[in-house]
Amino acid sequence: MDQIGIIGLGYVGLPLATAFADAGHPVVGYDIKRQKIERLRAKPPMVTGVGPADRAEGVPEFTSNPERLRDCDVIITAVPTPLTETSEPDLSNVRSAGRTIGEQLRPGTTVVLESTVYPGATREEFVPEIERASGLSLGDDFAVGYSPERLVPGEERSLRNSVKPVSGHTDAVRSELMDLYESVVDELYPAPSIESAEAAKCLENAQRDLNIALINEFAMACNGVDSLDYEDVLSVADSKWNFVRYSPGLVEGHCIPIDPYFLIERLERLGRSASLMREARAVNESVVDFIVGLVEDALSERDEHIDGTDENRLLACGLAYKPNAEDLRSEAKRRLFDELRDRGLEPIGYDPHVDAADATAAFDLPMWSSLDEGDAVGVLMLTDHDEFPPFSFDDVAAAYSGRPIVVDTTRVFDERSTPGVIYRRF
Ligand SMILES: NC(=O)c1ccc[n+]([C@@H]2O[C@H](COP(=O)([O-])OP(=O)(O)OC[C@H]3O[C@@H](n4cnc5c(N)ncnc54)[C@H](O)[C@@H]3O)[C@@H](O)[C@H]2O)c1
Ligand SMILES: CC(=O)N[C@@H]1[C@@H](OP(=O)(O)OP(=O)(O)OC[C@H]2O[C@@H](n3ccc(=O)[nH]c3=O)[C@H](O)[C@@H]2O)O[C@H](CO)[C@@H](O)[C@@H]1O
């Protein structure tokens, strides 16, 4: 059994480490965050949902000592690939992981990148760092592969049951990697090249972004046009066999709002157009301003001065980036709350799905566990969890002074009768 090293023990790396350990491989899980390593050592993650239930679960060795990677036959890298302030790919973690690998690399090792990157990045950014730090050469001394991750944390799309593309710098390397990944994934797709696998990952998410952008553009355009309700239109269009249904809303999370920029950057650097992908991002990012506009419109009907006092609290319901999730990664919500604060409002969080301390840290806002921990101007419904709405218009009217506003961005309320509240919906 090959010894596997995993670099980066986050949403992607940790399930991989436990899956390979489940499958019987000796696994070294390495992360630069010492606290994370201590946590993992104290309470190893036993539930992977990946290995067959009847197989004895193995536990990876968790370490922040890079020298433990030296004996690994295959080293898989799953470090974050965020954007810079100006929405350009930030591959600094990939380069630094490459250096760590290079410093420990033995000839004969195969190195795999799983982080989402633009096409060309594995060969142009990752491999050179490994070669520089090791003095070894790709092909002669070590092999490289790229395999994008498609798992969605907390959903039925686990590592095992999502089709996983695998590529290598030669066909033989790809075959060797497919034999390895077969132990933890049911279905693999042999990608013709490293670059095709890198690009496919970005394109998949750029396509989703574009599809949602079309519906967002249309739904925002329908706002205030009495004869045109986007939901009615979607229900009619959906009766056609090849219409694909999406819902308008904030596009959040760690993949869909970010990955298109990887492809945009590479295409534009090649002097090619990526205007549609750029436009889709711009439309989806503009939903923040649209929601702020709905809040302002509702408040203007309330006709009260916004002066930044306690009465200007607004209860933001649903902080997770998508329904029924507990994941708080949302640049859009961070921007939305900043915009609301700029207008003298004080957003307060409410979300039974998320850890309150994590939410406070993520968005710099206090959390309430019920509607009526204090007075507020109203509620802003953001993420459509199954149990939402957790309160009725009557509850909101009773909880707050004056006529409170209800701004419903996911249409969780039935708008036919809105006694006691000022109602606006996306
Ligand atoms: N989260 C997902 O569902 C998902 C899905 C598909 C693809 N991806 C991609 O996978 C990659 C990893 O994402 P994630 O969500 O697992 O990230 P994450 O932030 O959850 O975890 C990454 C881990 O890497 C560690 N790390 C950073 N730099 C390091 C280094 N130089 N050496 C060792 N450890 C280092 C961090 O401490 C962290 O623990 C990203 O490129 C992401 O776009 C993520
Ligand atoms: C379809 C799928 O499996 N995708 C995955 C994706 O998972 P995800 O969880 O990040 O993506 P989504 O489910 O697309 O949600 C993103 C945001 O868009 C909002 N949204 C969605 C649909 C809609 O009709 N209207 C919307 O407004 C939604 O609320 C949320 O905020 O990431 C993984 C990591 O890369 C990928 O493997 C993979 O592609």
Instruction: Write the pLDDT tens digit of every residue in 279-296.
Output: 999 999 999 999 999 999
Cα 206 to Cα 269: distance, rounded to the nearest angstrom: 17
The pLDDT value given to residue 90: 97
Ligand 1 centroid – CA 37 distance (Å)? 14
Mutate to test the pocket of ligand 1, among 31, 157, 321 (most ligand atoms within 8 A of CB): 31
What atom in ligand 2 is closest to the CA of residue 323?
A: 29
Q: Residue whose CA is closest, atom 32 of ligand 2? A: 255
Q: What is the tally of structural domains in the chain? A: 3
Query: Which of 280, 314, 343 is the C-terminal boundary of a domain?
Result: 280
The catalytic site residues sit at: 255
pLDDT in tens, 21-62: 989 999 999 999 999 999 999 887 764 444 444 444 578 999
Whole-number pLDDT of residue 155: 65
Q: How far is the CA of 9 from the centre of ligand 1 (A)?
A: 7
Q: What would the pLDDT profile of 190-235 be if each residue is shown by its tens digit?
A: 999 999 999 999 999 999 999 999 999 999 999 999 899 999 999 9
pLDDT digits (tens, 9 = 90+) for 119-146: 999 999 999 999 999 999 999 999 999 9
Which of 280, 298, 328 delimits the end of a domain? Answer: 280
Percent of the chain with pLDDT over 70: 94
| Same-domain status, 218 and 147 | no
Q: Is 219 in the pocket of ligand 1 (CB under 6 A)?
A: no
Q: Of 147, 256, 262, which is best to mutate to test ligand 2, by the most ligand atoms within 8 angstroms of its C-beta?
A: 256
Place of tokens 């092909």: 139
| Cα 199 to averaged position of ligand 1 atoms, centre (Å) | 18
Question: Rounded to the nearest whole angstrom, what is the distance from the C-alpha of residue 356 to the centroid of ligand 2?
Answer: 23
Nearest to 28 by CA among 55, 52, 54, 64: 64
Q: How confident is the model at residue 308 (pLDDT cuts 50, 70, 90)?
A: very low
pLDDT attached to residue 57? 59
Sign of dihedral through CA atoms 212, 214, 220, 223?
A: negative
- pLDDT score recorded for residue 51: 43
Same domain for 176 and 80, yes or no, is yes
Q: What is the pLDDT of residue 415?
A: 84
The atom of ligand 2 lying closest to the CA of 204 is 39
Instruction: Report the C-alpha gap between 399 and 378 in whole angstroms.
Output: 9
Interstrand relation of 405-408 and 378-381 (parallel, antiparallel or unpaired): parallel
- Residue 306's pLDDT is 52
Report the separation in Å between the CA atom of 296 and the middle of ligand 1, taken as the mean of its atom positions: 38
What value does the mean pLDDT take over residues 386-404? 94
Determine the atom of ligand 2 nearest the C-alpha atom of 245: 24
Strands 164-168 and 143-146: antiparallel
Same domain, 94 and 13: yes
Full residue range of the structural domain in which residue 63 is found: 4-192
CA of 410 to the centre of ligand 2 (A): 15
CB-ligand 1 contact for 34 (6 Å cutoff):
no
What average pLDDT does this structure show over 257-267? 97
Does residue 182 sit in the same domain as residue 327?
A: no
- Whole-number mean pLDDT of the chain? 93
Out of 26-40, 298-312, 399-413, pick the least confident: 298-312
- Centroid of ligand 2 to alpha carbon of 140 (angstroms): 40
6-24 mean pLDDT = 93
Query: If DSSP codes are grouped into helix, strand and coil, which group holds residue 6?
Result: strand
- Looking at the structure, do residues 350 and 233 belong to the same domain, yes or no? no
The answer to whether residues 123 and 271 belong to one domain is no
Give the number of other CB atoms < 10 A from CB of residue 37. Answer: 18
Q: Which atom of ligand 1 is nearest to the CA of 258?
A: 43
Same domain for 207 and 297, yes or no, is no
Q: Do 57 and 187 fall within a single domain? A: yes
User: What was the pLDDT predicted at 61?
Assistant: 94
What CATH number is attached to the domain comprising 376?
3.40.50.720
| Same-domain status, 237 and 351 | no
Atom of ligand 1 nearest to the CA of 148: 7
- H or E stretch covering 350: strand 346-350
Letter for the amino acid at 260? P
ipTM of the complex in this document: 0.95
C-beta 154 within 6 A of ligand 1 = no
- The H or E element that residue 316 is part of is strand 313-317
Output the pLDDT for position 304: 59
Task: Determine the average pLDDT of the residues in 393-420.
Answer: 92
Residue that terminates a domain, selected from 248, 280, 312:
280
- Choosing from 152, 164, 353 the residue with most ligand 2 atoms within 8 A of its CB, the one to mutate for a pocket test is 152
Write the pLDDT tens digit of every residue in 50-107.
444 444 457 899 999 999 999 999 999 999 999 999 999 999 999 999 999 999 999 9
Ligand nearest to the CA of 209: 2
CA of 319, nearest ligand number: 2
Mean pLDDT over residues 325-343, rounded?
96
Q: What is the pLDDT of residues 251-260, one digit of tens each?
A: 999 999 999 9
Residue for token digits 């809040």? 295
Handedness of CA 261, 262, 268, 272 (dihedral sign): negative
Of all ligands present, the nearest one to the C-alpha of 5 is 1
**DSSP structural state of residue 312:** G
The packing angle between helices 275-302 and 259-269, to 10°, is 140
pLDDT value at position 183? Answer: 94
For residue 303, name the pLDDT band (cuts at 50, 70, 90). Answer: low
Based on the fold, state whether residues 234 and 308 are members of the same structural domain.
no
Same structural domain, 309 and 335: yes
**Pocket lining for ligand 2, CB < 6 angstroms:** 150, 152, 157, 204-205, 208, 212, 246-247, 249-253, 255-256, 321-322
Same domain, 60 and 165: yes
